[in-house]
A and B are shown apart, each in its own frame.
Chain A
Amino acid sequence: MTGALSNEPLWYQLLIAVIKASVLMGALLGVTGWLVLAERKIIAWLQGRPGPNRAGPMGLFQPVADVLKLLTKEESIPPFVNKILFIAAPAIITITAMVSYAIIPWGPNPVWGAISNLNLGVLLFLALSSLGVYSIVLAGWSSNSKYAVLGGLRATAQMISYELSLSMALLAAVMMAGTLNFQLIVEAQRPFWFILLQPLGFFIFFVSAIAESRRTPFDLPEAENELVAGFHTEYSAMKFALFFLGEYMGVILLSGIMATVYLGGYQGPILPGPVWMILKIAVLFFVFVWIRATYPRFRYDHLMQIGWKWLIPLAVLNLIITAVLCLTFPNLVPNAIH
């Protein structure tokens, strides 16, 4: 709530926020379509096939064609659904994902670096990501069909479980940085990136992030071979597209958080901050895609076991180790709480 602009008039603060938000949203919405294309292309190459190549050169206009198709498709709402929640559900996931982008820092500038240079950024991220679950739960329930309900139940259990390890991994990094502000977390990584100090934390966060974004090998909620399409079985056209959008924005968001917290954020030689950020996000996104193309899907009980019996104890262990480290080697992490 406090920032570099707090002494400026309200209208000025608002204007700047609107400008920043529109630039980022425009870029994000535009880029997501091509990220889908990138994922399809990468997977296609990994699988030895050309991938989409009909719309435009190398299939570059495929996202345009997809969006046009989704926009012009009939909006069908099945007669047996709970209408209000059925419509609200896809909106929630997209909105929570979009709002979360406000806190990612793209540069060191306190005004232009992030949309909202929030002191409690980490908490806001956790709050919004925990709200994303509602989208899935409500989609599953309001669809009023069996596969959707099963998918919704799976998703809820999975996302609640993995959120714990995700936040605990993040807390260890916060402890080292001594702040909940993402920009300050980046600044705290001037000597070392946190991936070097928190390898275990990074691993836990990465695994939990895959589970949170419901991608292979944690894509049980929409496991097509078992549940047809899981919670979004009954969705079509733009409402389906919103789920799709939400999923991809979630992946980029989590990559962004990982880049910020563990990979030194916008830091890097020569190139400007935002470029480094985009590069790091791209690398992480590629790893997401790579994993999706490689691994089979977990079984439900194994998933829960991994979450509760491995990741959470590991995260607690990581937390304790970090605390001990911070207290014994105060010079290693100068910003940490002592």
Chain B
Amino acid sequence: MKFSRNVAKPLWESKDNEHLKGGFSGYHGVAEVRTIAADKLVDELQALKTDAERPFPVLFDLTAIDESQMVNRPDKATHRFTAQYTVWNPSKDDRILIKVPVDDETLKLPTVEGVYKNANWYEREVYDMFGISFEGHPYLRRILMPEWWEGFPLRKDHANRATEMAPLVVTPNMLEDFEGYENFNASGDSVMRRVSDTGEELMVINLGPNHPGTHGVLRVVLTLNGEYMEKVLPVIGYHHRGAEKMAERQTFHTYIPYCDRVDYLGGTNNEMPYVMACEKLAGVEVPARAQMARVLLAELYRICNHLVWLGTLGHDVGAMTPVFYTFREREHLFKISEMITGGRMHPNFLRIGGMSMDLPPGWREPLKFFLKDFDKALTEYDQLLIQNPIFKSRTKQVGVMSEEECLEWGVTGPNLRGSGSKLDLRKTNPYSGYEQFEFDIPSDTGGDCWSRAMVRHAEMEQSARIIRQCIDLMPEGDYISRDNRYAFPPKKAETMMDIETLINHFLAVGWGLDLPAGESLGMVEGPKGVIGYHVVSDGRTSPYRLRVRAPSFAHMQTLPALSEGHLLSDLLANIAAMDFVLADIDR
């Protein structure tokens, strides 16, 4: 297999001709881009949300860009910050990217929290990361960084690494933050009250950040009236690692391993939206074999994710055994993943234009062996846990959320489908060749934790079905695109055959790829919900801005709505049934 010369152009040549000189390559992954002035924002969004013909019921994402260091700025404007609102119509998969210039003097925007409820946390995040404040926001306060942090991390003038900053000195006021949720509210009300409406004294409990039931460093501040929760306040940010900031100093390729670590149970499901966004930007076609292999891995990791989820849900409602059964199957899958990708939890397998390697010879056999017994295992989980009367009593009518509320909060994935929806990106907007497969979208109308369990259980079955079809249908051919301006040439031996490929490879590895300037949104149906990677490139070797729209962040925001007024035990059921990963929330 040799790489043809007509595609392999020297990098400097293509750079001059197509990329920077060609200028802005456009916006990918969204149907339309609009610019709205800040003062009209609320009205326009309200109109968009309730539009008769083309409604956008979901605020998919809300973030900002610091454009102060952007070369070849497409809008030729001079304001420093641009807020970006991505609104989404999930049933038609129609997306609009709304850009709102932020006034340099005041750094203020109106809050859209009254239009889309889930804007609450997103606006806090923008405030936290960029220092843009939102007028009228009920609880504007840092969300990911600690309260005493100086500076705004995603601004371009903020240091990239700790070594670029002065050493951190811990002062007593940094520690005071812990009980500091007393008197902080825009309207001056105390958020965590110690006395209820009827005059009962309430107990304030810090559930976490170190607690056996929170799946990681999540902190939930609760006020308890007896065992009933009056107020639930999730406090996140303990797992914040700056995945978005890191992207700004990684090259497009070296960022791929970081994707694995965002939702670390999702494996390739996180790499996929990122490489898809980059591919759209570069205009690279992915060969059919690579596309189907991606689907294969995505479904494999979806099963892995759901297995962990099912086991830990069982464990969180007090059943100690299911987790060992689900991990038994997961171990099988990890062995298969290790055989295919070389990695277990963090495969780092996808590349821009395809995959890093071809599927190994004989890859079908272990998969067939696994699938043979998997149905039996699924029945076992169903009988042992899901149909167990105590489990039902713990999860039915717990954490109920209707379909409309789910959309309002930006809840996607199995949690949304547990509320009766049939929305799934794999069907509404098939990517990576999902249209070739026969599979159903399981959904359940209960809207409670048990429905979420049912949906995920059925989803594992469907994923197994897709994997079976992958085994039968897998086409032969390239596993990575031959467009090796952006895609790595497959093998060293072939790289050495002609000079252009060698040069391209050398530059791509040593210097980094410079994707065309532009913006691109990659979205996939991840195991936990819709994952979106919004890549902004200004033609240089690193993403100018990378936005990770994580499903867990949106889901965690619903925790108060799900839990308030219920028993403490229900909080744990809700947390477990929600399916989140702390790294995915905090990024």
The 0/1 profile, CB within 8 Å of B marked 1, for residues 209-234 of chain A is 00000001101100111101000000
Say yes or no: B570 contacts A299, CB within 8 Å: yes
Say yes or no: A146 contacts B203, CB within 8 Å: yes
Say yes or no: B567 contacts A217, CB within 8 Å: no
In chain B, residues 519-578, which have Cβ atoms closer than 8 Å to a Cβ of chain A?
Answer: 567-572
Which residue of A47, A146, A295, A299 contacts B325 across the interface (Cβ within 8 Å)?
A47
Say yes or no: B211 contacts A228, CB within 8 Å: yes
Q: A146-B205, A225-B212 are contacts. A296–B227 as well, Cβ < 8 Å?
A: no
Say yes or no: A293 contacts B390, CB within 8 Å: no
Most chain-A CB neighbours within 10 Å: which of B325, B384, B394?
B394
Which residue of A48, A146, A228, A297 contacts B318 across the interface (Cβ within 8 Å)?
A297
Most chain-B CB neighbours within 10 Å: which of A49, A217, A297, A302?
A297
Instruction: Pick from B44-52, B59-67, B309-317, B463-471 the stretch touching chain A.
Output: B309-317
Query: How far apart are A130's CB and chain B's nearest CB, in angstroms?
Result: 24
Chain B residues with CB below 8 A from A217, complex form: 318, 390
Which residue of B314, B324, B567 contacts A299 across the interface (Cβ within 8 Å)?
B567
Say yes or no: A299 contacts B394, CB within 8 Å: yes
Query: How far apart are B355's CB and chain A's nearest CB, in angstroms?
Result: 34
Chain A residues with CB below 8 A from B212, complex form: 224-225, 228
Query: How far apart are B311's CB and chain A's nearest CB, in angstroms?
Result: 11
Which residue of B213, B319, B384 contacts A224 across the interface (Cβ within 8 Å)?
B213
Chain A residues with CB below 8 A from B569, complex form: 220, 223, 226, 297, 299-300
Query: How far apart are B2's CB and chain A's nearest CB, in angstroms?
Result: 51
Say yes or no: A47 contacts B321, CB within 8 Å: yes
Q: Does A46 contact B (CB under 8 A)?
A: yes
Query: How far apart are B220's CB and chain A's nearest CB, in angstroms?
Result: 12
Q: Does B328 contact A (CB under 8 A)?
A: yes
Q: Does A326 contact B (CB under 8 A)?
A: no
The 0/1 profile, CB within 8 Å of B marked 1, for residues 270-299 of chain A is 000000000000000000000011111111
Say yes or no: B567 contacts A300, CB within 8 Å: yes
In the bound complex, how far is the Cα of B324 from the Cα of A43, in angstroms?
11
Chain A residues with CB below 8 A from B391, complex form: 296
Query: How far apart are B327's CB and chain A's nearest CB, in angstroms?
Result: 9
Q: Does B393 contact A (CB under 8 A)?
A: yes
Query: How far apart are A323's CB and chain B's nearest CB, in angstroms?
Result: 32
Say yes or no: B315 contacts A225, CB within 8 Å: yes
Chain A residues with CB below 8 A from B570, complex form: 299
Q: A225-B213, A228-B211 are contacts. A216–B205 as well, Cβ < 8 Å?
A: no
Say yes or no: A48 contacts B567, CB within 8 Å: no
In the bound complex, how far is the Cα of B380 from the Cα of A48, in angstroms?
14
The 0/1 profile, CB within 8 Å of A marked 1, for residues 319-333 of chain B is 111001100100000
Which residue of B203, B227, B315, B321 contacts A294 across the interface (Cβ within 8 Å)?
B321
Chain A residues with CB below 8 A from B316, complex form: 225
Which residue on chain A has the smallest CB distance to residue B324? A47
In the bound complex, how far is the Cα of B314 from the Cα of A328, in angstroms?
49
In the bound complex, how far is the Cα of B19 from the Cα of A150, in angstroms?
64
In the bound complex, how far is the Cα of B587 from the Cα of A319, in angstroms?
61
Most chain-B CB neighbours within 10 Å: which of A220, A223, A299?
A299
In the bound complex, how far is the Cα of B318 from the Cα of A292, in angstroms?
9
Chain B residues with CB below 8 A from A154, complex form: 227
Chain B residues with CB below 8 A from A292, complex form: 320
Q: Does A301 contact B (CB under 8 A)?
A: yes
Interface residues of A (CB under 8 A from B): 43, 46-49, 146-147, 150, 154, 216-217, 219-220, 223-226, 228, 292-302
Interface residues of B (CB under 8 A from A): 203, 205, 211-213, 224, 227, 314-321, 324-325, 328, 384-385, 388, 390-391, 393-394, 567-572
The 12 sampled A-B contact pairs (Cβ below 8 Å) are A146-B203, A150-B227, A225-B212, A225-B316, A225-B318, A228-B211, A293-B320, A293-B321, A297-B394, A298-B318, A299-B393, A299-B567
